[in-house]
Amino acid sequence: MKLTTVEGMTSEIFVPLTPDPVFTELKKPLSDCKVAFITAGGIHNKNQTPFNTSGDFSYRTISFDTPSSELMVTHGGFDNSDINKDVNAMFPIDRLHELVAEGFIGSLPEETYTFMGGGGNVEKFRDETGPEIARKLKAQGVDVVLCTGGCGTCHRSATIVTRACEAEGMSCCVIAALPPIARQQGAPRITAPHVPIGSNAGEPNNKEMQTAILKESLEWVRDCPQFNGLKVLPYEYRHNV
């Protein structure tokens, strides 16, 4: 049977294409790594300008010595109530300090960067925001970048920025509540706990779960054999509305 095509004919069916691979192998122990955490979930300091919830490609600089009580969320694309209970559910800054004290990871950079990925401008995130965040993290000597996304569009924006970090030589993983989006958008590595959007890093005020998700995501950065690898994590939390 011969397959016949017509020149110039295109399908009316949208077929998403996964971007080209970008993958940086981690070549040092986690205990020697400087680990950064970024998020598309709209986290910012209470004294900073809130994000524009109708669409925003800007980012906020967050010092890693900021108390978690000084952080808040501005995002209209998902239920913020879990973050309002405990910002570590999306941006686990307290758990990261504990992992440094434990010796599980080596250190944290002086600062990191957060953004609001909902309604994201793909070109701006790809050509401006992502590369700028990646350069700033690289300049601080970061080895590993973990990332969370909130809504579906946030997962796309988070993946775009994560890919920019990977291209700068940092080994990255998206902790995804919506793993199919992160995978189709070409995340270098993905971990997927069974959690609702807005609690990617674990149930609010559940230190044990949050720590386990962080540790297994870091281990996946170390152990993932190839681009776009997905690991489903055995942690489940259901948000009771």
| Cα–Cα distance for residue pair 123/40, rounded to 1 Å | 16
- pLDDT tens, 215-225? 999 999 999 99
Radius of gyration of the chain measured on its C-alpha atoms:
18
φ/ψ (deg, to 5) at 139: -65, -20
Model's pTM, two decimal places? 0.92
Helix/strand/coil (H, E, C) string of 35-46? EEEEECECEEEC
- pLDDT tens, 107-156? 999 999 999 987 768 899 999 999 999 999 999 999 999 999 989 999 99
Domains defined for the chain, CATH in brackets: 31-234 (3.40.50)
